Structure formats: structure tokens, C-alpha cells
Structure 1
Amino acid sequence: MSYVGRKLRERRILFPESRRGLIVPVDHGLTLGPIAGMLSTDDLEAWIGCSHISAVLGHKGLIERLILRDMLHPTTGVIVHLNGMASLSRDADTKVMVSSIDAALQLGADAVSIQVNFTEENFAHNFAMLGEVTDAAHEAGLPILTMLYDKVKSTPPENIARLNHFVRIVAELGSDAVKLAFPESMHEIPELVARHSRDIRIFFAGGERVTEQTLVATTREAIIHGASGLCIGRNVFQHAQPRALLRCLAECVKGEIGRPVDLA
């Protein structure tokens, strides 16, 4: 029965028309502190309730505030992020658990997420955390999204080989979805998605700030080749017109890929 509940909740974090998603993470405060576009919860109010977001992802305290202040659209799914570490730490890339499956369920979450940054020293920690959290989430009937980052500097073709291995690890340990940075070359997207998307949903991250045209173009390319959508934060909440950008991106994610970029 938990599998049925997991599949039902998965639908709530996706657009029903396409079964793809535009997930907006707002978990940056724990890691980076107050940053532009997220100096306070009030900064989110102008756009976070729009219908162009399939799900919002954040730490338990911020999710609670968004719910209590009625800031989310009724159709927007909720993903509670379960681990983290402040950038102030000397070991900021080794995330630790800061919440639980029970806390996520009490908040009414539709899914949970964790982040794993792989350095040369933290493989054992990340493997143990991934295995334990995935088991607990699935037992509770919650889908789990893993945000995956390789922090070891490497060059082609080693970096792509490492990325493929890491995605396979996350899939083997049971994650339902993975968030990845766009590869350096767009030519790598088709093979990457084709290799893994039958086993795990692939969402691409927005990453550092880029132009709307670049973001829409890369999104279209990813969707055409079978990605499940975007998991994008700073490019939204630090944009001058977040609602307009979200509308454009939602059209791309839903498959309305022929329209020109129009932020009017």
C-alpha cells in the first residue's frame, strides 16, 4: 500500500497535464543565510503563490510559515528538505540530517528531498544517509528527490563518467527523482537522460544566474529529450519578474515548447 501512496503523492508535485514538474527550491537560507530575493519570507509573497509552480521545496520551518500564511497555491505540492549544512562550516559539503520523515508527514508533505555533495572523503556518510532516508521515505509512502552534486573537479570525459556513476548510485539506492546541474555541453543531455530516465526521474537545476533566453533554451532541450522538468531557485527568486519567468518555464516543462520567450 505504501507504493500506491508514493505514486499518488508523486502526481501532486507534477503538472497533471504533462506529468512533468517545475519545482522551486527555497531551502537556500539554511545554507547561505539571507540572500537577494530571500532576505525574508516576505520577499517570496509576490510570486510563490502562482499556479506555474508544480511544487515548492524547503526546510520544515519555512514550509510551516508558507502554509500558515496561506502563501502557496492550492495546487502546489510540498517537498520538505531533510538535510543540510551551513556554508559557515569547514565541512559544508557534508550534509547532516536536520529533520525527519515524521516531521514531513506532520506538515502534510507530498514528498521529501535530501542533498548529497560528493567529495573525496564523504562517500560512506552519503551512502549511509541515502540508504536510510530512502527506506524510511518509502515505508511512509513518500517519494524522495535527491539533489546530486559532484564536488571533485574533473575534466571530460571523466566528469561525465563520474556523473553517470553517481546517478546510478542514487537510482540503485531507491530515489524516485534526482536533481542535476546542466552538463557543460548541451550535447550530453540526450545520452544522459536516455541512459537513466527509465529508472529515475531527472530534474535539471537552474544553477547560477543566466539569461532568460539561455534558461528557456536549455529547458526546452532537456524536455525534448525526456527530462522530467526543472528544480530551479535563484534564477526565479532573484529575477526581476519571477511570475513572468515561471509562466515561460512552465510552458516549456508542460511541452508547449514552440512559443517564443515573452516576459511581458
Structure 2
Amino acid sequence: MSLFRLNRLFNPTSGRALDVAVDHGFFGEPSFIGGIEDMPSVVRTLVAVGPDAVQLTIGQARHLQSVPGKAKPSLVLRTDVANVYGNPLDEHLFSHHVPFAIEEAVRLDAVAVCANLMQLPGHPAIRDANIRSIMALREQATRYAMPLMIEPLVMQDNATAGGGYMVDGDTAKVVTLVRQAVELGADLIKADPTTDLADYAKVIRVAGGIPVLVRGGGRVDDRTLLERTVAVLDAGASGIVYGRNIIQHPSPAGITAALMAVLHEGMGVDAALKLVTEYAK
């Protein structure tokens, strides 16, 4: 089945995509909304600089889709909510998908929906809940030809890692969870970088031709972010999904422009860093 909506996600020249994730408020963690308190302003900034897509929730998608014209970024719709990021963890953990998410994605003119596949040490019930959500979403996504992005997320134990998006970049674990996402019917994969970036080609290979977009994770300096981006693209990634490294950056427009230049023009790290500086002036 052809998923024509993806024609609006990937750049027609480079075949790559930058999806800016701004769905953090869905998870109910106070630290996650730093830099995105004013969502209308955040979306206006992103629309002005023009990434390929913005990842939003059902409650916030209106800020993007109410912008007139054809040139605005595409919408990727987050479909599930969980409480697995706190430290300490709540006594009762959950992960739920929105039952009508695919129909809502059609109404909102999204190009894809995104759902988690989490491996949290000591809490297999969360992975079970994610698999059940993915299977339910897959049935509806097929019916409406809506691309399904699965986010395999290998997490560290929150008690020892300090909570938040503390991921485990062990290559074998990442490869295994990515493969499970493919087996569950992913049209797109949103995966973490491996700790050893030289291993990332193994992630691409196990995805078997399914486009892999790489998560940004926690805040890092600009050079580290750009060098990591170049490395995963060289390994065969089809794009990136960055959130805090853009929305919490001193110049969200500058770092977005730099990343777009790396993705679509093949710009090197040093030239991209200069671009960030120019935007900051």
C-alpha cells in the first residue's frame, strides 16, 4: 500500500526529514515543558524557520494546522501518553493510546502518527501496554492509509539514571527493540542513537528498509549534536526527530536552520555552526 502522506514528510531532493518534537507536555512532567510554556509562540517560531514536520498532540495540533498556506511544516501526531519519566516513579505506571487517534489524525491532516514501544527495566507491563496500543493503532492506520511511526525506546532504570529521558544506548538492546517495531508493522522508526555511533548501521540494517529517524535525547552542545547528526546520516538514517535540543536552544531558529542545511544540503559541521551564530546575531 502506498502511503502518499509521506510525500509531505520527506524532502523531495534529499529524501530526508527533520521532525521537531514538541509533544512533551502530554507526559505530565514539570521539567518537560521548559521552553515550551507558550505553545503558540513556539509553533510560530518553528513555522517561520520551516522544518519538515512538527510533532504535536491532539490538544496542540491546532496551533500548526490553523496556519494558512501550503508551506508550513507537516504535522506528526503523538498518539499515546505515559507516566514513566518521573523520579521516583509513581506506584501505578500506565501507558494509553488515544482510542480515536487515527481518525483524529485524518481530520487534522497529519502525515503520520507516533506511538511508543518502551523497554523499562523491571516494568514489562509497560511494554505489554505499548504492544497492545500499537496493534490497535496498526489496524486503524491501515484502514485510513495513515503512516505509523513506532518509537522503540530502551530506557535506563529511572532510580539510578535520575529520571527523564535517560536512555540505554546498548547496541544489542536498541537493535532488538527496533526489530520488534518492524515486526509490529512500523511504517517509520524513531530510534535512539547507539552509544557507539559506529554501530548505527546495524540499526539501519535490522530495520530492513523501513525509514529510521533518530531521536535527539537530552540537551548537548551544538557541535556534539551536529556531529552526531552527520554520523547517523552517514550510517543510513532517513532523518532526525529532535525536541529539547531545538526548543530549549538559545536560538531555536538558528539550530533548526543548521540542522536543515546538514540534512538537505550536506553542509558540514563547521559551516553549520557558523549558521547558528549568524541567526543568533
TM-score interval (norm. to shorter): 0.7 to 0.9
Question: Shift of residue 247 of structure 1?
Answer: 1.0
Distance 1:11-1:228 versus aligned 2 partners, 3 A rule: same
- In structure 1, which of residues 124, 130, 133 is the aligned counterpart of residue 128 of structure 2? 124
Distance 1:162-1:57 versus aligned 2 partners, 3 A rule: same
SS at match of 1:50: helix
SS at match of 2:47: coil
Look up the match of 1:148: 152
Distance 1:158-1:59 versus aligned 2 partners, 3 A rule: closer
Distance 1:51-1:93 versus aligned 2 partners, 3 A rule: farther
Worse-superposed segment, 79-88 or 109-118: 79-88
Distance 1:83-1:101 versus aligned 2 partners, 3 A rule: same
AA at the equivalent of 1:169: Q
1:9 and 1:126 map into 2 onto residues whose CA distance is: 24
Name the structure where helix makes up a greater proportion of residues. 2
Distance 1:159-1:222 versus aligned 2 partners, 3 A rule: closer
Look up the match of 2:222: 212
Unmatched 5+ stretches in structure 1: none
Look up the match of 1:76: 73
Give CA deviations for 1:119-175 in whole Å, capped at 9, x if unaligned. Answer: 34223322222122122112211111112212255xxx9932222111111001111
Aligned ranges 1:32-43 → 2 under 5 Å: 32-33=29-30, 35-43=33-41
For the Cα contact (< 8 Å) 1:22–1:54, is it kept in 2?
yes
Question: Shift of residue 37 of structure 1?
Answer: 1.1
Look up the match of 1:100: 101
AA at the equivalent of 1:241: S
- In structure 2, which of residues 182, 201, 209 is the aligned counterpart of residue 199 of structure 1? 209
2:105 and 2:224 map into 1 onto residues whose CA distance is: 35
Aligned ranges 1:160-171 → 2 under 5 Å: 160-171=171-182
Question: Shift of residue 93 of structure 1?
Answer: 6.3
Q: Does 1:9 align with 2:13?
A: no
2:21 and 2:169 map into 1 onto residues whose CA distance is: 29
Aligned residues: 256
AA at the equivalent of 1:102: E
For the Cα contact (< 8 Å) 2:43–2:63, is it kept in 1?
no
Question: Shift of residue 51 of structure 1?
Answer: 4.6
1:211 and 1:158 map into 2 onto residues whose CA distance is: 19
Q: Does 1:63 align with 2:50?
A: no
Look up the match of 1:85: 82
Distance 1:105-1:150 versus aligned 2 partners, 3 A rule: same
1:94 and 1:148 map into 2 onto residues whose CA distance is: 17
Question: Shift of residue 250 of structure 1?
Answer: 0.8
Distance 1:250-1:240 versus aligned 2 partners, 3 A rule: same
TM-score when scaled to structure 2? 0.82
More RCO (CA 8 Å, sep 6+): 1
Q: Does 1:179 align with 2:182?
A: no
The alignment-based identity, stated in percent, is 22
Distance 1:46-1:79 versus aligned 2 partners, 3 A rule: closer
2:37 and 2:50 map into 1 onto residues whose CA distance is: 23
